[in-house]
Amino acid sequence: MSLKDQILYEDNHLIVVNKLPGELVQGDETGDETLADRVKNYLKTTYNKPGNVYLGIPHRLDRPTSGIVVYAKTEKALVRLNDAFRGSDVKKTYWAVVDSCPRENEGTLIHYIVRDSRNNTSRAYPKEVKGSKLAKLSYTVLGKSDRYYLLEIDLHTGRHHQIRAQLAAIGCHIKGDLKYGAARSNPDGGIHLHARRIRFTHPVKKEPLEIVAAPPSDSVWNYFVKNI
The CATH architecture to which 3-227 belongs is: 2-Layer Sandwich (3.30)
Between CA 80 and CA 90 the distance in angstroms is: 12
- Give the residue from 195, 156, 154, 188 showing the smallest Cα distance to 8: 195
Report domain extents, the chain: 3-227
Predicted confidence (pLDDT) per residue in 18-65, tens digit: 999 999 998 777 778 999 999 999 999 999 988 899 999 999 999 999
Q: What are phi and psi of 171, to 5 degrees?
A: 80, 20
Q: Quote the distance between the C-alpha of residue 100 and its chain's center.
A: 21
Backbone dihedral angles phi then psi of residue 182, each to the nearest 5 degrees: -65, 150
Helix (H) or strand (E) holding 12: none
Between CA 110 and CA 138 the distance in angstroms is: 9
In this predicted structure, what is the pLDDT of residue 27?
Answer: 76
Is 177 an active-site residue?
no
What confidence score (pLDDT) does residue 30 get? 77
Neighbour count for residue 10 (Cβ, 10 Å): 17
Give 60-115 pLDDT, tens digit per residue.
999 999 999 999 999 999 999 999 999 889 999 999 999 999 999 999 999 999 99
Average pLDDT score over residue span 137-166: 97
> Which pLDDT belongs to residue 90?
96
- Note the pLDDT of residue 87: 85
| Active-site hit among 62, 89, 99, 218 | 62
Average pLDDT taken over every residue of the chain: 96
Percent residues over pLDDT 90 in the chain? 92
d(CA 128, CA 185): 31
